[in-house]
Amino acid sequence: MEPVIETKDLTKRYGATLAVDRLNFQLRRGEVFGLLGPNGSGKTTTILMLLGLTEPTSGTVRVLGFDPARQPLEVKARVGYLPDQ
């Protein structure tokens, strides 16, 4: 079964600040996944990259078979996002 979400060596830098460092994971249909960590650990940045709202510095992301950085409208049409703040 193909993953519904997959990251490979996903990295995001803001200047000299490393926000996400080579994140790798797969989420398959029906799985439950929690993204936990302290403030500033890259959780929001990861979500923004999954949604195509910010582009990774390096690495790859696939959401439902789409690349959010190249096909953001395809991802946005299929995924909901409700930030807590």
Q: What is the pTM of this model?
A: 0.92
Q: Domains (ranges, CATH) in the chain?
A: 5-76 (3.40.50.300)
- Rounded Cα distance, 49 and 76, in Å: 12
Q: For position 28, what pLDDT does the model report?
A: 97
**Residues 6+ positions from 1 with CB-CB distance below 8 Å:** 28, 29
Q: How far apart are CA 60 and CA 24, in angstroms?
A: 9
**Which two tokens mark 51?**
């949604």
Hunting for tokens 């990259």 — which residue is that?
49
Cβ neighbours around 49 below 10 Å, total: 26
As given in the structure block, the two tokens for residue 85 are: 């703040």
Q: Mean pLDDT in each 10-residue stretch from start to end of the chain (85 residues)?
A: 95 97 97 93 96 96 96 94 82
